[in-house]
Chains A and B, each alone.
Chain A
């Protein structure tokens, strides 16, 4: 018993050192998952983000069929990177609405002209209010909203080609 006690501090130190070494090697997950998944969308009504598209309200997302809700900004580089994937989703017949965060109409128009336009409606959220209400913490993020307006899935960060199957599956699940 006494011998065991003598080794205890060293054992604790080894456990500590191994834990630190492992956590240093695995990058920390700094993503913040929304707690709104499984809940109904908060009520909102956003002005159009650019003249070519209608604005977006929570009622538009309760259309009876599931839709994707993309939270983006023209000033956000990863949002430009994910645009081919959004266009691919649209070509599969998945409807996509968007919220433009802290954006100007001319910048949104230029962004759509440059990177393509997969969106049906784009609401403007100049003070990030609706983004906070959604529990979203950055751009880009993509939500799957079912036909009753319940948030079913959240993708954090840009959609890469390898993420397409999970998004399509989440969309199918929301039917």
Chain B
């Protein structure tokens, strides 16, 4: 028990992050909501569909990375300035590709993604049709 305080200090101080993070505080609008609730709701909706660039499985709304915070700040500032959410998404897509958006557009690379459910459903119906025909015979 005598060493408990020392142990606690060690446990809390030696938790050096594997990936370095900046020592600057988060951007002003990284974690602060916009004054106007309607604008904040718009910003939040957009943030949930933008992918974090460093933690690639998370949306910027979910991520604690510095870069995600800066992206949230970018989204909020632009929404506050009156920019349309889709224009902000487009601005990012122009820089990082459709990859950055969790709302993939229909384009040659992604059409199988959109068509696959329909093709599978059609295939299933075709198979089922064979089954029914046999039964009635």
Contact = CB atoms under 8 A, between A and B. Distances in A.
Given A32-B97, A127-B27, A137-B53, A76 B70 contact: no
B80 interface: no
Contacts of B27: 126-128
A129 B74 contact: yes
A34 B20 contact: no
Interface string A138-171: 1000000000000000000000000000000000
Contact residues of B: prevailing secondary structure = helix
A133 interface: yes
Contacts of B53: 32, 137-138
Contact of B22 (A32, A36, A101, A129): A101
B24 A135 contact: no
Nearest to A32: B96
Interface string B41-76: 000000000000110100000000011001101100
Which size bracket describes the interface of A in this complex? 20 to 34
Given A32-B53, A35-B95, A77 B74 contact: no
A23 interface: no
B111 interface: no
Contact residues of A: prevailing secondary structure = loop
A107 interface: yes
Given A30-B56, A35-B94, A132-B70, 12 more contacts: A32-B96, A34-B95, A73-B22, A75-B23, A101-B22, A102-B22, A103-B22, A103-B24, A127-B74, A128-B74, A132-B71, A132-B92
Interface of A: 30, 32-36, 73, 75-77, 101-104, 107, 126-129, 132-135, 137-138
13 contacts: A35-B94, A75-B20, A76-B20, A101-B22, A102-B22, A102-B24, A103-B22, A128-B74, A129-B70, A135-B94, A135-B95, A137-B67, A138-B54
